[in-house]
Structure 1
Amino acid sequence: MKLKYLLIYCILFICTLSPAQNTLIDGLKNQLSGDDISTAEKFRIYNELTEYYRVSDQYPTAEKYVQQQLELARKEKNAAEEVKALAQKGIIKLNQSEYDQVPPIIDAANTIVQKSNDKIALLYASYLNIYYSNALGNPESTIKLVQKTLPLVEKQPSEIMLNAKLNYLLYGIYTEWNDAENATKYAKKAIELAEKSGNKNLLSSAYSALAICYSFRYEKTEDLKDLKPVIEMCKKAIALYHQFPGHVSAHVHAMALLNLTNYYLSYPEMTPEIRSEIQTNANEILNLTQYTTLNQGMQAGALGVLSNLASRDHNDALAEQYLLKAEQILLTQKPVYYHVMINVVKNLAELYAQQKKYQKAFEYESKVAEYSHILFDEGQAETAKRLEAQYQSQKKESELKALTEKTASLKKEKLLYIGLGIIGLIGAFFMFLSYHFKLRYSIERENKLDTEKHEAEMQIKLQEEEKARLKAEQELLTLQQQKLQSEVLASHLHIQHKNKVLQQLQTQLSDTDINIHQVVKGENRVDNDFEKIRFTIQELHPDFFKNINERARQKLTALDLKYCAYMYLGMDTKQIANLLNVEPKSVRMTKYRLKKKFGLDENTALEIFFQRIFSE
């Protein structure tokens, strides 16, 4: 993508959702100071004011409203509004390239989400993470995060603006990749959502975005019919400022005018009507930017347009005047916007060369080289900061991954111990049942044995009693028998006497005989056993650090990785020493040590070695 479109996209993205400068913002401030305003209305106003001052680069004022929103959200225990404020705070830090201050803010937002389980808070915490990934230059990772978050946002009808921001961000990424199809798709989606939200400021920016998408085709064909839809979208963006007074900021309107003017300048033949419109637009930009902040880039752009028109009229003096004024305006901005400044001084050098003022031409050519060098150094420093932030982010992700794996392992181990404990309890329960059963069986058996013993003792006692009874009866029988025998004997004697008498009478009467008979006779007992037990039981270069670690023959330390990143960026020994606040001698020693770790000879430059790795 050409540089001018990249700059236009960056400015448009910063300007997105900027409220109208006078009537709308003043009205919001007046509402905020009222006594009868509801808490929900206060949150809405804080969000709009913070967004306005942030996109206007008035960061201290934006942070003031963020702090007020945070205090109110904590007082009301409103997790969603607290995370919204933290997201704004993180974006402000990223816009100022303070990458190292953003991770703690992301952690704070994630903690609130975990404690509250609030869906809206989750969406804004995700948005901050997406913005951070994009700022670190990780477009692939950013797209994955957006695609993961967008379906959740679409389920929340109240978050149309957040939905629009995410689609606008995707448009920007695909624009940088020169992917006209996807860029157009997401720009149209942003327009659709902006229309639903009623935010004319966002709608104007989205129209300008679609104009950039259409310009890709015109750049390839250079056919005027392909330029017409580009002009049409630019005019739609401009028309909103007049159709809805106070709803489109001066900054966004000025940007739309500058876009249209630049496209008009690409016409092969400039008609009087187009020239007049270009002149009017440039003057309107200069008038509008009197009321906006950090506007030097757009003012210089408008003056550049007027200088172009003067050059077409062969009025070199007027063209020089406009360019010199643009240079003076750009120098008032701190830091200087060198992207535009280089174009201005280059045009001045070319103008002086045409006028054969070689001394001034050389002077401005020198400025071109100077500003290009400064811009390169700024870019290197910015890249180094991003690399450092990317390294810390990857390190944190690795630590988080290791912690997650450890937590999962501990969880599995805990579950295993719980399972073992449950099994142990079950085993103990069955052991208790078994013991209880055995004890009961033993008691029952003991009782049975006691009973049997008692019964046996009773049987013996009964037998002894029966024996004694029988003995007594026997003795009685014996006595009776003795008595009977005595009686029999007496009777016998008597009989004998009788017999004797009868014998004596036998002869006279008859013979007699006597007989006696007596008879007595006695009886047997059963045993059982049981037992049972049971047992039952784990984005400068996404792969930069990975690749150099793979090439190293010895393990690289965190400091080694930093040195490698700086040398890959092309920094010399002095620059690295200044950046790390060490002696150049220390840097040279580290380079020597790194060569040994990579197995390089002394004549091989590490910078060339790293470049060769990533060119393969």
Structure 2
Amino acid sequence: MKLKYSFLFCLLFICTLYQAQNTFIDSLKNQLRGDDISIEQKFRAYNELTEYYRVSDQYSTAEKYIQLQLQLARREKNNAEEVKALTQQGIIKLNQSEYDKIPGIIDAANLVVQKSNDKTALLYAGYLNIYYINALGETENTIRQVQKLLPLVERQPSEILLNAKLNYLLYAIYTEWNDAENANKYAKKAIELSEKSGNKNMLSSAYSALAVCYSFLHEKTGNLKDLEPVIQTCKKAVSLYYKFPGRISSHVHAMALLNLINYYLNYPVMTPAIREDIQNNANEILTLTRHTTLNQGIQAGALGVLSNLASRDQNDALSEHYLLKAEQILLTQQPVYYHVMINVVKDLAKLYAKQKNYQKAFEYESKVAEYSNLLFDEGQAETAKRLEAQYQSRKKESELQILTEKTDRLKREKLLYIILGIIGLAGAFFMFRSYHFKLKYSIERENKLDTEKHEAEMQIKLQEEEQARLKAEQELLTLQQQKLQSEVLASHLHLLHKNKVLQQLQTQLSDADINIHQVVKGENRVDNDFEKIRFTIQELHPDFFKNIDDKAKLKLTALDLKYCAYIYLGMDTKQIANLLNVEPKSVRMTKYRLKKKFGLDETTALDTFFRGIFSE
């Protein structure tokens, strides 16, 4: 019963505040209708109304006041107010992802700045450009531009709200980068400036931003004591709505309430007081967003929270009711807010699976896949639009840079032409008097150039002939060197054979029965045979030994080269054995070893392999 009365009191309080909010907005509208209001007061009212409806996502109403502000600013030739209105218009287009309309708005703002050289207009034009490049995802460039603009804004005491917005923008970027230290610094700066500006919507958003910064530590440690600063900061954002009736939009307050609820759900144990606060806040969100547009996502979030509470109470029917209602609300917004919709249908699928209603569970699991695909497609389309906008922006910057360089070049060329014209007129008289002298000098110079050209051609021809002669001599030297190397290798093989024979002869002389004449005659025959072999090889293939050495997988000895030469000339095992005075078995073993060194299989004949080398 106590919970019921508490909820009724809360609902009555909300209705009272909603009426107060309408009273505040109506007072601004009534000021604009009055005849005794000054131009400055009109501009102040337009700025407050435009800002109020923009942060409430009521873009069509905001656009109406933007057009009225533009008309008044152009009629009064107030350049600063005209650029302020254009800035609000550009931000709304960016929030609606209409990137193609932004360059025209930026150009219009820059044109006003160029014509007027108004400092305030310059600041707001710069802010619009910063908001644009940040929306395109160029965060590093955004930070650079903000740091350039901030000193100029700080020198304008009347633009405290713009200063707060720039610091809030820096907070958002550093939060996205998970840089807690910088995010915390700029969130606190945004709170300080928002309090000075008197803009309560900005102050509420800044408090919510600081709560996000405090949540970094809680996410890291998981300690309950680190969650308390987060909750307290969220409560500060929420309390502003009651402390300053009508000064904070329902949309901003609903977001602050939803943030508080989400952090409440991080408590490990939900006390009755916390649960009551969560339920009251969720119902308050539904009441606040009932009469506004583009708040379906917030409403669905609140219904999701109520579904979570019902599920904790094991009340599956009530939990299902809230989730189905959230689904219906989300379907009323076009395009559908798929991020929240996916969570809703996931919870429905889990709920039906728990109830063993597998057909419904499958149906909603299918919807999860369907909405995930739609979200992906939407993201791809958004990325494509953003990339196209980036391309057009860079193309425009490039064209502007080229145009600026071209203008500067034309100015320099124009000045150069003037100087050249003066020099030409001054020198015309002297040129006329020296004409005959120059003509004579020109003829002599032409003849000299012809002579020099002829001499150069002859010199080139002689150089070419000399290079041809040197090349021929080089080729001849190369051939002679190759032939000499072949002769040295062949002689080396012969000397090795002779040394071996002499050693054998020395051994044989110890035998009394040896016929020395027969040995000398046999050795002379071997010498003659090897000389013929060497001459034949050198005549046919001067680079024989080099080629077979290149083909070997393992290093060849001098004896190996001698065997290769005999095999190449077609000698069989017995002939080679007689020549080298060894056993045929030794020759066969050497052939087997040579096959291994050349990487040949047993079926490949060595003489065929050698002939194949020199037929390539």
| Same fold? TM cut 0.5 | yes
Q: Say whether residues 1:203 and 2:203 are aligned partners.
A: yes
Q: CA deviation at 1:411?
A: 3.1
Q: CA deviation at 1:200?
A: 1.9
- Deviating more after overlay: 290-299 vs 386-395: 290-299
Which 5+ residue runs of structure 2 have no aligned equivalent? Answer: 1-18, 429-616
- Deviating more after overlay: 119-128 vs 245-254: 245-254
Alignment-derived partner of residue 260 in structure 1:
260
- Structure 1 residues 260 and 425, CA, compared in 2 at 3 Å: closer, same or farther? farther
Q: CA deviation at 1:417?
A: 4.5
Counterpart code for 2:238: I
- Structure 1 residues 299 and 357, CA, compared in 2 at 3 Å: closer, same or farther? same
- Counterpart mapping for 1:244-259 below 5 A: 244-259=244-259
> Within 2, Cα distance between the matches of 1:116 and 1:427?
47
- Counterpart mapping for 1:218-237 below 5 A: 218-237=218-237
Alignment-derived partner of residue 185 in structure 1:
185
Secondary structure at 1:245 match in 2: coil
> Within 2, Cα distance between the matches of 1:276 and 1:51?
34
**Conservation of the 8 A alpha-carbon contact between 2:348 and 2:361:** yes
> Within 2, Cα distance between the matches of 1:101 and 1:391?
14
**Conservation of the 8 A alpha-carbon contact between 1:20 and 1:249:** no
> Within 1, Cα distance between the matches of 2:221 and 2:87?
42
Alignment-derived partner of residue 64 in structure 1:
64
- Structure 1 residues 369 and 236, CA, compared in 2 at 3 Å: closer, same or farther? same
Q: CA deviation at 1:419?
A: 5.5
Alignment-derived partner of residue 396 in structure 2:
396
> Within 2, Cα distance between the matches of 1:285 and 1:170?
29
> Within 2, Cα distance between the matches of 1:398 and 1:203?
39
- Deviating more after overlay: 358-367 vs 51-60: 51-60
> Within 2, Cα distance between the matches of 1:320 and 1:179?
39
> Within 1, Cα distance between the matches of 2:380 and 2:254?
31
> Within 1, Cα distance between the matches of 2:424 and 2:95?
60
**Conservation of the 8 A alpha-carbon contact between 2:83 and 2:125:** yes
Alignment-derived partner of residue 589 in structure 1:
none
> Within 2, Cα distance between the matches of 1:42 and 1:114?
25
* Structure index of larger Rg: 1
**Conservation of the 8 A alpha-carbon contact between 2:289 and 2:295:** yes
> Within 2, Cα distance between the matches of 1:325 and 1:22?
28
> Within 1, Cα distance between the matches of 2:423 and 2:195?
63
**Conservation of the 8 A alpha-carbon contact between 1:20 and 1:247:** no
> Within 2, Cα distance between the matches of 1:243 and 1:235?
12
> What is the total number of aligned residue pairs between the two structures?
413
Secondary structure at 1:314 match in 2: coil
Higher helix share: 2
Counterpart code for 1:108: A
- Structure 1 residues 268 and 75, CA, compared in 2 at 3 Å: closer, same or farther? same
- Provide Cα deviations, 1:278-303, integer angstroms capped at 9, x if missing partner: 11111111122223321211111111
Alignment-derived partner of residue 456 in structure 1:
none
Alignment-derived partner of residue 121 in structure 2:
121
Alignment-derived partner of residue 241 in structure 1:
241
Q: CA deviation at 1:310?
A: 1.3
Q: CA deviation at 1:362?
A: 0.3
**Conservation of the 8 A alpha-carbon contact between 2:207 and 2:234:** yes
Normalized against structure 2, the TM-score is what?
A: 0.64
Q: CA deviation at 1:399?
A: 0.9
Counterpart code for 1:248: I
- Structure 1 residues 419 and 210, CA, compared in 2 at 3 Å: closer, same or farther? farther
Q: CA deviation at 1:59?
A: 2.5
**Conservation of the 8 A alpha-carbon contact between 1:349 and 1:360:** yes
> Within 1, Cα distance between the matches of 2:59 and 2:269?
44
- Structure 1 residues 200 and 409, CA, compared in 2 at 3 Å: closer, same or farther? same
Q: CA deviation at 1:184?
A: 1.0
Alignment-derived partner of residue 360 in structure 1:
360
> Within 2, Cα distance between the matches of 1:59 and 1:214?
32
Alignment-derived partner of residue 16 in structure 2:
none
Q: CA deviation at 1:58?
A: 2.7
Alignment-derived partner of residue 175 in structure 1:
175
Alignment-derived partner of residue 351 in structure 1:
351
Secondary structure at 2:227 match in 1: helix
> Within 1, Cα distance between the matches of 2:252 and 2:97?
23
Counterpart code for 1:387: L
Alignment-derived partner of residue 325 in structure 1:
325
> Within 2, Cα distance between the matches of 1:96 and 1:230?
31
> Within 2, Cα distance between the matches of 1:20 and 1:390?
44
> Within 2, Cα distance between the matches of 1:37 and 1:353?
64
> Within 2, Cα distance between the matches of 1:106 and 1:286?
38
Alignment-derived partner of residue 132 in structure 2:
132
**Conservation of the 8 A alpha-carbon contact between 1:87 and 1:128:** yes
Q: Say whether residues 1:308 and 2:302 are aligned partners.
A: no
Q: CA deviation at 1:272?
A: 1.5
Q: CA deviation at 1:224?
A: 0.8
> Within 2, Cα distance between the matches of 1:238 and 1:56?
16
- Counterpart mapping for 1:87-486 below 5 A: 87-417=87-417
**Conservation of the 8 A alpha-carbon contact between 2:25 and 2:246:** no
> Within 1, Cα distance between the matches of 2:384 and 2:397?
19
- Deviating more after overlay: 82-91 vs 189-198: 82-91
Counterpart code for 1:67: Q
**Conservation of the 8 A alpha-carbon contact between 1:250 and 1:291:** no
- Structure 1 residues 345 and 77, CA, compared in 2 at 3 Å: closer, same or farther? same
Secondary structure at 1:75 match in 2: helix
**Conservation of the 8 A alpha-carbon contact between 1:20 and 1:250:** no
> Within 1, Cα distance between the matches of 2:423 and 2:204?
68
> Within 2, Cα distance between the matches of 1:281 and 1:53?
23
**Conservation of the 8 A alpha-carbon contact between 1:46 and 1:65:** yes
- Structure 1 residues 160 and 419, CA, compared in 2 at 3 Å: closer, same or farther? farther
**Conservation of the 8 A alpha-carbon contact between 2:21 and 2:245:** no
**Conservation of the 8 A alpha-carbon contact between 1:50 and 1:66:** yes
**Superposed CA RMSD:** 2.2
Counterpart code for 1:233: T
> Within 1, Cα distance between the matches of 2:54 and 2:235?
27
Alignment-derived partner of residue 22 in structure 1:
22
Alignment-derived partner of residue 447 in structure 2:
none
- Structure 1 residues 410 and 224, CA, compared in 2 at 3 Å: closer, same or farther? same
